[in-house]
Amino acid sequence: MPLPNRDLAAAAVDTANANGRGLQRRAAGCAAVVLGSTTTVAGAKKALAQAHLGDEIRAAAEQLIDQLAENTEKETHP
């Protein structure tokens, strides 16, 4: 079972802080916001789809959400 969204949001914040300026930082920030305001990964993706974002940022944020969820799944079920 993946970590709760609040933990995934914290990981997204860490990712944003680890990146300088640019697409990855903005995408990580967007991922942190939608993860922090929803209870499921699917809900976060739905919120992301409804957000007024450019396609490039949205795609990068969704990719990061998938990556974080996958990584936590691997950590909890090695």
Residue boundaries of the structural domains of the chain? 5-76
Number of other CB atoms surrounding residue 55 within 10 Å: 7
Span 14-49, pLDDT tens digits: 999 998 789 999 999 999 999 999 999 999 999 999
Q: How many CA atoms lie within 13 A of 45 on its CB side?
A: 12
With a cut of 80, say whether residue 75 has pLDDT above it.
no
